[in-house]
Amino acid sequence: MDVNTILDSLNDAQREAVTQPLGSSLILAGAGTGKTRVLVHRIGWLIQVEGVSPWSIMAVTFTNKAAAEMRGRIEQMLDMPVRGMWVGTFHGLAHRLLRTHWKEADLPENFQILDSDDQLRIIKRLMQALGLDETRWPPRQAQQYINSKKGEGLRSSHIEPGYDLFEKTMYSVYAAYEENSRLLGVVDFAELLLRSHELWLKHPELLAHYRERFQQIMVDEFQDTNAVQYAWLRMLAGDKGNLMAVGDDDQSIYGWRGARIENIRQLTCDFASAKTIRLEQNYRSTSTILKASNTLIANNPDRLGKELWTEGNDGERIRVYAGFNEVDESRFIAARIQDAVNGGMALSDIAIFYRSNAQSRVLEESMLRSSIPYRIYGGQRFFERAEIKNALAYLRLASNQDDNPSLERVINVPARGVGEKTVQQIRDVARSGGVSMWRAAREMVKGKGLTARATNAVVSFIELIEGLSLSSSDLPLDELADHAINVAGLIEHYQKEKGEKGHARIENLEELVSACKQFDPDAVFYDKMQQNLSPLDAFLAHAVLESGDAQADQFIDSVQMMTLHSAKGLEFPLVFMSGMEDGLLPHRMSFNDSGKLDEERRLCYVGMTRAMKNLYLTYAESRYLHGKETRHHSSRFLREIPSDLMEEVRLSATINTEMSNASLSLGHAEMAEIGLSLGQRVTHEVFGDGTILNFEGQGAQARVLINFDDEGGKWLMVIYAKLTPLSVNGICC
Ligand code: ATP
Ligand code: MG
C-alpha cells in the first residue's frame, strides 16, 4: 500500500495532523471534522511511513465496538492484519495489564470482575455487617462514594475522614469493602484503572517496560477522561512518549460521572511541546444541520471555541414536529421511518435518540406496531430492565401466587430480612412436598421450621402479596401497578440509590404505571385467546411478549435506538431526536444549575451533529411522565436554533387516516354536538384562523387539532380554546 492511500482522502489540516513529526499533539475539533479519521490515518502513517511497529502503539477508544471498528479500518487501509497493537477502552486495556501482571498487582491469578450490581450487593452485605441502617445509609450512596474516590485515585488509606459523620461512615464502608475485595480477590470497574495505575507506581520496572514499548499513545474522545484515566496516560507517556489526544470540549457529556473537561487544558501544560491542531471543516452534515448546531452551542460559556464549516449543500431544513402526546410523537416517527424505507433507505441508516431510557418504551411499541425491526444500542429493552422485572414480579404474584420465579425474585427485594438460607428452606420444602414455594412458605410460617425473625419476614411478605391479590380485583390496572410498586417498597428502595441510576430506575417504574394506564388489551391482542384475560393478565402477557425476541438480531437491518449519551462518535443519514421538551432535554434536574444546563446543551449538540442528511426534532405537548400526564413546553434549545433553519411539519389538510372509523364517527357525533366539524374553518383569539384536522377524546377531554394558517398544527382542548366557527363547510359532513 502506498502513502497516498493514507493521505488522499484528507484535507490540509487533517494531513498536517497525520503527517506531523513524532511528538505529542492535541487535535481539538468540532463534531464530524474527521478526528477519529485522523487518529486512524495517523496510525497508518506511523506504521507505514515512520516505520513504527504496531507493537508500540496503544489506542484508547470510547467503546469496544469503536475499538473493533478502528482495528478493521487500519487493517483495511494497510491491507494487512495488524498484530500486537493494543486497541480498546480504558477499562479493557487496564484489565489486560492486570491479567498479565496479576502477581505484581497483588491479585489472584483468576481474579473476578464485579459488575455494578455485584458490587452493590457486596456493599449492602458489608453495611449490614457493620450494623448500618439501610434507610439512613443507602448502599447506593456508598457505592457511588467508593467509585468516585477510586476515580479520583484515592484509597481509603489516603482519606482523612475527620469528624464528619457522613465522611466517617462512608470511609468505614470503603475500608471494609477494600478489605473484602482483597480477601475475595475481586476487582470492580473503577478498581481496574486505579490498580493498574498503582501497578506502575509500585513497580517502576514495569512502568519502564511499558513506556519503552508504548511510545505512541492515541486517545479518542479525550474530553471525557476522568482524573485516574488522565494520570494513567500521563504516567505511561512519561517525558518521551508521544501522545495524540483527540477531542472536542463541546462534546463533553460525562461530567456527572467524573469526567474532567479540564484535562484538555492540563494536557497542554503537561505536554508543553504538544502541538494543537484544529480541524474546522465538517464532512458529516448538511450546512443547515451544522449551522443549527453551531448556533446552539454558541450559547455555552467558556468554550475553547471553534468555527465549523462545510462545503456540503444546504440540504433540507430541520423538521420539527409537535405531537399531541408521546404516542402521537412516536407514531409520527414510525410513519416517517416507513416513508424513508419506501424511498429506499436502509433501516440501519436511521437512528432515534432520547434523553432517558424510560422514553424508549413508547417508541419501542410504535416500532413493534409498525413491524419495524429495531435495536436498543448499548442498553436494555424496557421490559427487561431489573426494576421493571421486579415490579412485574409483584404483579404476577398478585395474579398467581404459585409463580415460583417471581416469588424467588422479590421475596427479599427490597430487603425485608428473608435471607438466602430461608429461601433455600422454602425451596426444599416446596420440592419435597411437590407444592409451590408460596404454599410451602404459608405452611412453614405456621410451624416451627423457621427462626422467629425469618417467620416474621415471610409473614409480612405473604400479607403483602395477599393484599395485592385482593386489590387486583378492585383497582384499575394503572392504580394497581402504582399501588404495588409503592406498598412493595420499590420506590423507596430505589430512592436510596442516589445519583443518575436510581433516578432512572424510578423514572422507569413510573413509566410502567403510564404503560398500564395506556394499555388497551383490545389494541394489542396478539392472540384471540387473550381477549378473555383480565386486564392484569393481558398486560402481563403483553410484557412477556414485548421482552421476548422481538429485538432484531445484529444481522437484521434495523433502526438504531439509543440514549443521547451512547450516540457519541456515531453518525446516521437520518436522525430523530425525540422528547425535545423542557424537563427532558434539558433534563429538569439541570434547571437550577448553569453548569449542568451547559452539559445538557452539549448533549443536544452531540445528538444533532450525528445527523448527516436529515434531522427531525420532535416533542409531545403532553406526555405521561412519572405516572401522570404532564404538559411540557418545547425545549428551550429549539428556540436557540435559528427559525429559518427549521420547518414545522404540519399535518396535511386531510383527515388523519390512522383514525379508525369507529373513532371518526364518535368524533363526528361529539363534534356536531359542540358545533364543530372536521375541515371546518375556525378562528382562535391568539393563533388566528385555521382548519380543524382531527379530533380526540370526549367531554372535558375533547381536543381538536387545528392547522393554523400562521402557526401550524396545534392540539387544543375544546373547552378552553374558545373557537369561533368561520364557516360550516366541514369536509366530512
Ligand atoms: P465526532 O466528533 O462526532 O466524533 P469526528 O471528528 O471523529 O466526529 P469522523 O467520524 O472521523 O469525525 O468523520 C466524520 C465523517 O466525515 C465520517 O463519515 C468521515 O468518513 C468523513 N470525513 C472525514 N474527513 C473527511 C475527508 N477529508 N474527506 C471526506 N470525508 C471525510
Ligand atoms: Mg469521532
Tell me the average pLDDT across 521-535. Answer: 56
Q: Which atom of ligand 1 is nearest to the CA of 610?
A: 3
Pocket probe for ligand 1: among 19, 36, 60, 73, the residue whose CB has the most ligand atoms within 8 Å is 36
Q: Quick one: average pLDDT of 462-488?
A: 95
C-alpha cell belonging to residue 226: 476522568
516 Cα distance to chain centroid: 22
pLDDT at 380: 64
State which H helix or E strand residue 714 sits in.
strand 712-717
Q: How far apart are CA 361 and CA 599, in angstroms?
A: 25
Residue located nearest, by CA, to atom 18 of ligand 1: 284
d(CA 645, CA 289): 8
User: What's the pLDDT at 637?
Assistant: 97
- The active-site residue out of 221, 510, 546, 600 is 221
Q: Are strands 350-354 and 628-631 parallel, antiparallel or unpaired?
A: unpaired
Catalogue the E-assigned strands of 257-373. 275-279, 318-325, 350-354
pLDDT given for residue 499 in this prediction: 67
For residue range 112-154, what is the model confidence (pLDDT) as tens digits?
777 676 688 789 889 988 999 988 999 989 998 999 999 999 9
**Do 384-524 and 318-381+557-653 have the same topology in CATH?**
no
Please say whether the beta carbons of 58 and 93 come within 8 A: yes
Residue 369's identity, in one-letter code, is R
Mean pLDDT, rounded, for 30-48: 95
Residue 96, pLDDT above cutoff 90? no
Mean pLDDT value across the chain: 86
CA distance 144 to 110: 26
By C-alpha distance, which of 309, 318, 314, 245 is closest to 283? 309
Is there an atom of ligand 1 within 6 Å of 282 CB?
no
Q: Could you say which ligand is closest to the alpha carbon of residue 33?
A: 1
| E strand map for 291-439 | 318-325, 350-354, 374-376
Q: Check 14, 36, 215, 286 and give the catalytic one.
A: 36
Q: Is 6 in the pocket of ligand 1 (CB under 6 A)?
A: no
Which DSSP letter does residue 371 get?
A: T
671: pLDDT strictly greater than 70: no
- CA 586, CA 141: separation in Å to the nearest integer? 25
* Atom 13 in ligand 1: residue holding the nearest Cα: 34
Q: How far apart are CA 564 and CA 247, in angstroms?
A: 18
Q: Which long-range contacts (CB under 8 A, 24 or more apart) does 460-463 make?
A: 460/416, 461/411, 461/416, 461/418, 462/438
pLDDT at 527 over 50: no
Q: Is the CB of 247 under 6 A from ligand 1?
A: no
Which pLDDT value is given to residue 666? Answer: 39
Query: Nearest to residue 194, comparing CAs of 167, 172, 217, 227?
Result: 227
- Say which CATH topology domain 112-184 has: Arc Repressor Mutant, subunit A (1.10.10)
Please provide residue 155's backbone torsions phi and psi, each rounded to the nearest 5 degrees.
-85, 165
Active-site pick, 37, 355, 505, 610 = 610
CA 497: distance to chain centroid? 17
Model pTM above 0.75: no
Contact between 705 and 711 under an 8 Å Cβ cutoff? The reply is no
- Listed in sequence order, the residues at least 6 apart from 620 whose beta carbon sits closer than 8 Å to its beta carbon are 322, 323, 324, 325, 326, 328, 329, 579, 581, 632
Specify the CATH number of the domain 318-381+557-653: 3.40.50.300
- DSSP strand E in 463-604: where? 559-563, 572-577
Q: 208-213 contacts: CB < 8 A, separation 24 or more? A: 210/97, 210/236, 211/236, 211/237, 211/238, 211/240, 211/241, 213/55, 213/56
Instruction: Inform me whether the pLDDT recorded for 40 exceeds 70.
Output: yes
Q: Does the annotation count 5 as an active-site position?
A: no
Q: Is 330 in the pocket of ligand 1 (CB under 6 A)?
A: no
Question: What's the confidence (pLDDT) of residue 55?
Answer: 93
Cell of 351: 437512528
> Which of 133-147, 200-214, 261-275: highest mean pLDDT?
200-214
Record the cell numbers describing residue 676, joined without a space.
364543530
Cβ of 450 below 6 Å from ligand 1: no
Is 150 a residue of the active site? Answer: no
Q: Whose CA is nearest to atom 4 of ligand 1?
A: 569
Whether the predicted pLDDT of 558 surpasses 80: yes
Is residue 610 in contact with ligand 1, taking CB distance under 6 Å?
no
Ligand nearest to the CA of 31: 1
Strand partners, 587: 583, 584
pLDDT in tens, 302-357: 888 788 899 989 999 999 999 989 999 999 999 999 999 999 999 999 999 999 88
pLDDT at 301 over 50: yes
Q: How confident is the model at residue 236 (pLDDT cuts 50, 70, 90)?
A: very high
The pLDDT value recorded for residue 575 is: 98
466 or 257, which is more confident: 466
Share of the chain above pLDDT 90, in %: 54
**Cβ contact 339:372 at 8 Å:** no
Residues 6+ apart with CB under 8 A from 556: 373
User: What would the CATH number be for the domain defined by 660-732?
Assistant: 2.30.30
Say if residues 516 and 481 touch (Cβ distance below 8 Å): yes
Question: In ligand 1, which atom is closest to the CA atom of 40?
Answer: 11
Known catalytic residue: 251?
A: yes
Give the mean model confidence (pLDDT) for residues 259-272.
88
Q: Is the pLDDT of residue 551 over 90?
A: no
Which ligand 1 atom is the nearest neighbour of the CA of 251? 2
Residue 514 has pLDDT above 50, yes or no: yes
Alpha carbon distance 252, 258 (integer Å):
11
**β-pair type (216-219, 242-247):** parallel
Q: Ligand 1, residue 221: give the atom nearest the CA.
A: 4
Q: What is the pLDDT of residue 656?
A: 40
User: Using a 6 Å cutoff on CB, does residue 561 contact ligand 1?
Assistant: no
Q: Is 42 in the pocket of ligand 1 (CB under 6 A)?
A: no
Closest CA to 710 of 731, 686, 692: 686
CA proximity to 691, closest of 673, 676, 674, 672:
676
Q: Are 98 and 199 in contact (CB under 8 A)?
A: yes
- 11 close to ligand 1 (CB < 6 Angstrom): yes
Query: What are the Cα distances from residue 353, in Å, to 109, 186, 282, 358, 611?
Result: 42, 36, 21, 12, 11
Instruction: Give the pLDDT confidence of 359-398 residue by residue, as tens digits.
Output: 988 998 899 888 888 888 766 667 778 899 899 999 989 9
3-102+193-281 has which CATH code? Answer: 3.40.50.300
pLDDT interval class at 668 (50, 70, 90) = low
**pLDDT tens, position by position, 414-447:** 999 999 899 999 989 998 998 889 999 999 999 8
**Domain range list for the chain:** 3-102+193-281, 112-184, 318-381+557-653, 384-524, 660-732
Catalytic residue among 220, 403, 582, 600: 220
Nearest-atom index, ligand 1, CA of 29: 6
Q: Does 636 sit in the ligand 1 pocket, CB within 6 Å? A: no
- CA proximity to 517, closest of 470, 480, 466: 480
Query: How many angstroms is it from 218 CA to the middle of ligand 2?
Result: 13
Least confidently predicted of 161-175, 646-660, 684-698: 646-660
Which residue from 324, 386, 420 is spatially nearest to 620, judged by alpha carbons? 324
DSSP code at position 640 = T
Q: What pairs with residue 188 in β-bridges?
A: 114
Mutation test residue for ligand 1: of 73, 222, 252, 284, the one with most atoms within 8 Å of CB: 284
Q: Is the Cβ atom of 412 under 6 angstroms away from ligand 1?
A: no
Q: Each residue of 621-660: pLDDT tens digit? A: 988 877 678 888 999 999 999 999 999 986 543 334 343 3
Quote the Cα angle for 64-66-69, to 5°: 110
The pLDDT of residue 1: 56
242 pLDDT tier (thresholds 50, 70, 90): very high
**pLDDT at position 721 over 80:** no
Catalytic (active site) residue 36: yes
274: left (phi over 0), alpha (psi -120 to 50) or beta: beta
CATH number of 384-524: 1.10.486.10
Ligand number, closest to the Cα atom of 35: 1
All three cell numbers of 68: 473493533
Q: Identify which ligand lies nearest to the alpha carbon of 284.
A: 1
pLDDT digits (tens, 9 = 90+) for 216-231: 999 999 999 999 999 9
